[in-house]
Every structure is written in C-alpha cells, then in structure tokens.
C-alpha cells in the first residue's frame, strides 16, 4: 500500500502542509514513521480522511478564486468492478470525481483505494463560477 508524506497529503487534500501537520498532530489522521523518521500516512487512511474532509469542509478560510483546470490530482477513494465496466471515485481536494471506465482499464492501471491518481476532464462546455 502506498503511503504519503505530510506535504503530499496536504496537496491531495487541497490544504496547506501546516494544516495537514496540525491534523496529524491532533490525531485526526493516523501517521507512522519510515526508516528515516519522516511521518507518513497510509493511502487507505488518507482516502477515508479525504472523504471526511470534503464532507465537513477543510477548515481553511482561504477560498480560491480561480478557474478549475482540467486535471484533478487526487486520491482514489473507491473502486467498484463489474463484469465489463468499473466505477472509480477520486477525491481531489474538495472535489469528488466519478469516472466510468472499463474493468480492463482499471486492472491495467492497477487502480486501488489509497493510491494517487489524476482525473482528466474533457468538455466542450466550461462553466466558471466565482464565489
């Protein structure tokens, strides 16, 4: 299972490294140390925590006023395999993306809960909202 540093987890959660560090210090997400002493978060733990953060808000007050790009790096939070098709969910910061693809593609990519992945969106219509 893949593990993530505090900095990597912060990027995937869409928060600052200081916020991710405070959450780890407070025990909101479990960490362990590698052989060099760095704190790491297990991919499955980070996937579950990313869903919780997205549902409850990140707690950071800074709001981004930018147009979303078409690449959403995040963490795989669910993989549902059918006989031919599959459904993959990715939590990219506050954004939950769901993709329907072939089972073969999921198996070739080796997608599983807790691993890092990027969802790419192609559209002929783009809507921009400013909050």
3 state SS of 116: strand
What are the structure tokens assigned to 41, written together? 């978060």
Among 65, 34, 75, 77, residue whose Cα is nearest residue 130: 65
Q: In what order do the strands lie in the sheet with 3-5?
A: 3-5, 39-42, 32-33
Contact in structure between 63 and 131 (CB atoms under 8 Å)? yes
Going residue by residue through the chain, which has 131 residues, state the pLDDT in tens, using 9 for 90 and above.
799 999 999 988 888 899 999 999 999 999 999 999 999 999 999 999 998 888 876 555 444 443 445 778 899 999 999 999 999 999 998 889 999 999 999 999 999 999 999 888 877 665 556 65
Torsion of Cα atoms, 39 then 78 then 101 then 15, to 10°: -50
Do residues 41 and 9 touch, judged by C-beta distance below 8 A?
A: yes
- Tokens coding 114: 């807790």
CB 6 within 8 A of CB 21: yes
Three-state SS at 11: helix
Instruction: Kindly list the structural domains of the chain, giving each domain's residue range(s) and its CATH number in brackets, ordered by start.
Output: 3-56 (1.10.1660.10), 70-125 (2.40.50.100)
> Is the pTM value of this prediction over 0.85?
no
């Amino acid at each position: 299972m893949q593990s993530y540093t505090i900095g990597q987890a912060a990027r995937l959660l869409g928060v600052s490294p200081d916020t991710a560090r405070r959450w780890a210090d407070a025990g909101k997400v479990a960490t362990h140390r590698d052989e060099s002493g760095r704190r790491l978060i297990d991919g499955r733990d980070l996937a579950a925590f990313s869903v919780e953060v997205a549902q409850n808000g990140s707690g950071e007050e800074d709001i981004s006023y930018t147009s979303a790009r078409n690449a959403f790096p995040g963490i795989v939070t669910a993989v549902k395999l059918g006989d031919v098709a599959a459904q993959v969910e990715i939590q990219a910061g506050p954004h939950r993306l769901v993709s329907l693809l072939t089972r073969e593609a999921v198996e070739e990519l080796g997608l599983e809960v807790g691993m890092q992945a990027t969802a790419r969106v192609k559209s002929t219509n783009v809507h921009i909202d400013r909050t």
